[in-house]
Structure 1
Amino acid sequence: MIDGPILFAAVLLCGLLAGNEVATLIAFHPVIRRLPIRAQVEVEQSLTRLLGVIMPVYMTATLVATIGAAFATLGTPAFVFALLAAGAIGLMLVITLTQNLPLNKRTLDFPPDGDERSWSEIRRRWERIHLVRVILDVSAFACAILALAAR
């Protein structure tokens, strides 16, 4: 059946995305915060540029896989879980587009010798919003696993 490979792709992509975002939350950003302000700005700007190329493809592929999983499982017990996974990824993308991307622009525009307080405000807001995204990504991963198990 076609639902097996699609569900596997959804689980794989959701898991990789959740793992990436959790690592960003609990490892990368706490370490970056310990650097001197100029180094923080330069590292965040480099990461933002790199991830600005990678993540749109990665997140879109995850959304497509979870939507595909929902369609592939229509009428089965797995459908609700697949739909929830797609919904969580979709909501995460809306938050990314409306909240994180404007902050990413501010990060890229911030002068390396800029005001530390202004920098901290940008980054704290980004991290609070990112926490919500991480919760949605981990929830999507759990729902994708449950969809696979329910098929």
Structure 2
Amino acid sequence: MQDVLAVVTVVVVGLMVGVEFAVAVFVNPILDRLPDDGGLAARSDGARVLGKVMPFWYIGSVVLGAVWAALAWGGAGASVIATGTALLVLSVVMSILLLVPINSRVATWSHEGAPADWKQQMRRWERFHYVRVGVIVLAFALFAVALV
């Protein structure tokens, strides 16, 4: 049971890391290069779609990590799993305090209704997002180490 949970946790967190990494490194830079603020509508749509999915993915990852840590408690690797889970909790707190407020505004923007400083707000979101990606990559690495 614990082995299956470990694999599921690593896969779920790994996929989440892949999505968030792709957004940071590929998707947003591509959107930034679109002419005439063409990326604004795509960012707004992305904020709406991912804003609905990602909370479940993050919380689900925390729950999987917590259950895995509880089952492994007292055994080899339990502290590594617990640390990975704590990092996922940190990523959720960062999301709620730093990224969600900006994302909620972005989800309402359109070409006609974006504030004048929308690009600066996106840069701020991206800086926070890079840090969050680093945190979840580290959590994933810890889970992968604990799995092997």
Q: TM-score, normalised by structure 1?
A: 0.91
Q: Show the counterpart of 1:12.
A: 11
Q: CA deviation at 1:37?
A: 4.5
4+ runs of 1 displaced by more than 3 Å?
A: 113-116
- 2:142 and 2:88 mapped to 1: Cα distance? 11
1:140 alignment counterpart: 139
Compute the displacement of 1:13 (Å).
Answer: 1.1
- Equivalent residue for 1:73? 72
The DSSP-based 3-state class of the residue aligned with 1:62 is: helix
What residue is the counterpart of 2:93 in the other structure?
Answer: 94
How many matched pairs? 147
After TM superposition, the structure 1 stretch with the greater mean CA deviation from structure 2, 89-98 or 31-40, is 31-40
Show the counterpart of 2:22: 23
The residue number in structure 2 matching 1:44 is: 43
Aligned residue for 1:129, secondary structure, equals helix
CA RMSD of aligned residues (A): 1.4
Partner of 2:124: 125
TM-score by length of 2: 0.93
Higher helix share: 1
Q: Distance in 1 between matches of 2:10 and 2:102?
A: 29
- Asked if the contact 1:78–1:147 (Cα under 8 Å) also holds between the matched residues in 2, the reply is yes
Matched-pair contact (CA < 8 Å) for 2:41–2:109: no
Report how far residue 36 of structure 1 moved: 2.9
Q: Could you list the runs of 5+ residues in structure 2 that have no partner in the other structure?
A: none
Q: Does 1:33 align with 2:32?
A: yes
Structure-2 separation of matches of 1:67 and 1:10: 10
